[in-house]
Chains A and B, each alone.
Chain A
Amino acid sequence: MGVPELYQKFTNEFKPAYEMLSTNPNSPDLMDQCKQLMTDLRIGLLDLDIKLPSQYDPDVIDKEIYLSREILEYGAIMSVLNRDDKGLENYVAQLKSFYNDYRFLPDSEKKDSILGLYLLYLLSNNRIGEFHTELELIPDQNNKYVNFSVTMERDKMEGRYNKIFQAHENLDGKGLGFYSPLTEKLCDTVRNDIADSLETAYESLSIGQLQQLLLLDTDISLNQFISERGWNVVDNVIHFSTVNVLENELDALEIIGQSLQYAHELERII
């Protein structure tokens, strides 16, 4: 497929389908249709001859670079909607090379949202180290997408889980509708965090209180959660096993090892 045909397919077939999908996000037919079109577009991308940045004349920008960048951006958004982690990483890796290496291109409109998306993805998978290294690479953080992800990270670190759940509910209000699978994943991760802290902080909790704290709506999901965690339910109350064994015994092996080390070194001195 040459550049003009690809462009036609992209504008006339994919874009309208995507528009319809954003208005009806839960329709499986539209989702399948978009997925199919995206696969075709990706195959079409392979035929394009994208050269290294140094081989391009900065003043004459070919249409193919713009086109491939846009297709990749939509691909990234599609993989978020499909909950396709590997696909997302692939797309973002390719897009990063477009953003960083092809410097003569003017910035894409979607750049900030894709970067914010990637940050949120790293956060929801608990890859905080990578989150911070990626954040260092973004010079200008004053846009709503990156701000959103940064606020989420801060709330998760501080423990203000309420805010995270609220943000998940209010996504459409901020125009971040397509973030919802990621925030859902983040809420799950956060629930695990909450459960961890519940185990250490409380001695016992009733089922009602637990439901309130974990913000799980249905009883079924609550029971599933409890069984996954392996908590004992007695009379609708859960007792957390407190690990309060004070280490009154001395670790003999360690002390022996240390003393031998001291003796060895001292012998060397004398």
Chain B
Amino acid sequence: MSDTSNDMMDLEENIEHIIDDDQESTPVDVLEVLEKLIKLAQKTAKTKEDRHLQRSIRSSFSKKFRDNLSAEILLKLVLRYFPDDNSEKGQLVDALNANVDIIDLEAEPPIEIYQEVEIYISLLVLVFVIDQKRAEDAVELSSKLIARLDTWNNRTLDPLSSKAYFYYSLSYEIVDRLDDIRIKLLELLRTATLRHNHEGQVMLLNLLLRNYLHYSLYEQAYKLVRRVDFDKDHASSNQLSRYYYYYGRIKAVRLEYSEAYTYLQLALQKAPQSTAKGFQAIVNKYLCIVRLLLGEIPERGLFNNPTLKHVLQPYLELTKVVRSGDVSLFGEIVNRYSNIYTKDNTLNMILRLRHNVIKTCLKKINHSYSRISFEDICSKLNLDSSEDVEFIVAKAIQDNIIDAKINHDGGFVISNTSPNEYASSAPQKAFHERVSFCLQLHNDAVKAMRYHEVKTGQN
């Protein structure tokens, strides 16, 4: 037992060493590390416990480690571990396109290969091909890999298979043929659910949602989310944050803004803080819009974040214009940045903000005047006719945006005096919200605590 944990520590140190930018890592280092990982995979296969493999594969698929892979290293691995009668060996070797002269063929290839090892090496090759930007090859390879995985039903393969599904979807997304694999993903989800493959379920659900949202099929995405339960206990926080982001987006399009706001915030909390800048940027964009649609103004601090400042610039302009309540300026800003908004899929939601601009303006008028005539409101809002104004104000009163009464004959609006806030139960409600959030946080933290790996027999 201590042997494995020692090995693991060494292994992780080695991986860190390779990822560390300062030192040049030789191919031999990388090969050594990979060999150790494969030994772990073999151990997993023998003992049927996936904890040996779990932690290490996570680090071996990180971007910096992948940069160090090369065709020669991978070819060596394939030749060393794949037996000759393996059906996949040939295509892996072809896919690698490596310089065969450099490799000196060593001893006889082994007689058999564990499933885990085969999938692990195939996955490394697939990732390598994707990194080389050979999209069509990646599509072919990934389809074959998925077909191969279909034939096996091995629980220890779950972490590897979920990574395989991810790269399968990624390779199709790069060539823009996502709708081809939708049916396959649904099939895989069914199989994963039947086999209680929790990791696979979670990953496939996220991939399907991504697929639907890519084509703006919000209705179908909503139906999927309603029917399939998302297993929060078995999901890593990355998957959880992705799920919350997709769910928040679906809710936002369906005009359920407060729920969307909660979910998008959760997504931001669960996301990794130091990496995944693109994800953080897009979630922040959606958060900004949903807050505006709810009628609140996002804080300045959101836009001052140095990494995201440049990306969020159009949205900062948007916030400023909504705050000022100027309808014509709003149209200008939307036109100016319409390309960016279309790329982010937010243009439709932003067009809904026109109503919010008018709301904000009405609120400001209501606060500043106790009595104001329709003509004055009309000129302030830059509207065409004052008949519209009456209806607009009536609707605003009904929506609880402003608190006032209309005097039809006189043609003016009278504001109501606001009642004493502390006499109502509003402070109690706000207090209760905060307290329950803190208690929930505490419970989550307690549940997430884990014991350290116990080192026994260390004398």
Expressed in whole angstroms, the Cα–Cα distance for A199 and B425 within the complex equals 25
Q: Mark A191-204, 1 if CB is under 8 A from B, else 0.
A: 00110111111110
**Is residue A161 contacting chain B, with contact meaning CB distance below 8 A?**
yes
A interface, over-half SS? helix
Stretch in contact with the other chain, from B231-239, B298-306, B432-440: B432-440
Of residues A160, A248, A269, which shows the largest number of chain B Cβ atoms within 10 Å of its Cβ? A160
- Give every chain A residue within 8 A of B388 (Cβ-Cβ): 159-160, 162-163
Contact A162 B425, beta carbon cutoff 8 Å: no
Minimum C-beta distance from A253 to chain B (A): 12
- Within the complex, the shortest CB–CB distance from A268 to chain B, in Å, comes to 8
Tell me which residues across on chain A come within 8 A of B395, comparing CB atoms. Answer: 158-159, 193, 197
Q: A255's contact among B219, B255, B428, B442, by CB below 8 Å, is which? A: B428
Residues on the B chain within 8 Å of A196, using CB? 398
B406 at the binding interface (Cβ < 8 Å): yes
B418 → chain A, closest Cβ, in Å? Answer: 11
Selected interface stretch from A13-21, A55-63, A133-141: A133-141
Measured CA separation A135–B406 after assembly (Å): 35
Q: CB-CB contacts of A127-168 with B at 8 A, as 1s and 0s?
A: 011101101110000000000001000100111111100000
Q: Quick one: which of B222, B388, B393 has the most chain A CB within 10 A?
A: B388
Interface string of A226-270 (1 = CB under 8 A from B): 000000000000000000001110110001001001100100110
Q: Which of A163-184 contact B (CB under 8 A)?
A: 163
Instruction: Please give the number of chain A residues whose Cβ is less than 8 angstroms from any Cβ of chain B in the complex.
Output: 42
Q: Check B393–A154 contact: CB distance below 8 A.
A: no
Query: Cβ of A162 and Cβ of B387 under 8 Å apart?
Result: yes
- CB pair A198–B394 under 8 Å, yes or no, is yes
How long is the Cα–Cα vector from A132 to B385 in the complex, in angstroms? 28
B217 within 8 A of A: yes
A147 to B: closest C-beta gap in Å: 12
B348 at interface by CB-CB < 8 Å: yes
B423 touches A246 (CB 8 A): yes
A residues apposed to B, CB below 8 Å: 128-130, 132-133, 135-137, 150, 154, 157-163, 193-194, 196-203, 205, 209, 213, 246-248, 250-251, 255, 258, 261-262, 265, 268-269
The residues of B with any CB-CB pair to A shorter than 8 Å are 216-219, 222, 253-256, 348, 351-352, 354-355, 358, 385, 387-388, 390-398, 404-406, 408-409, 419, 423-425, 428, 432, 435-436, 439, 442-443
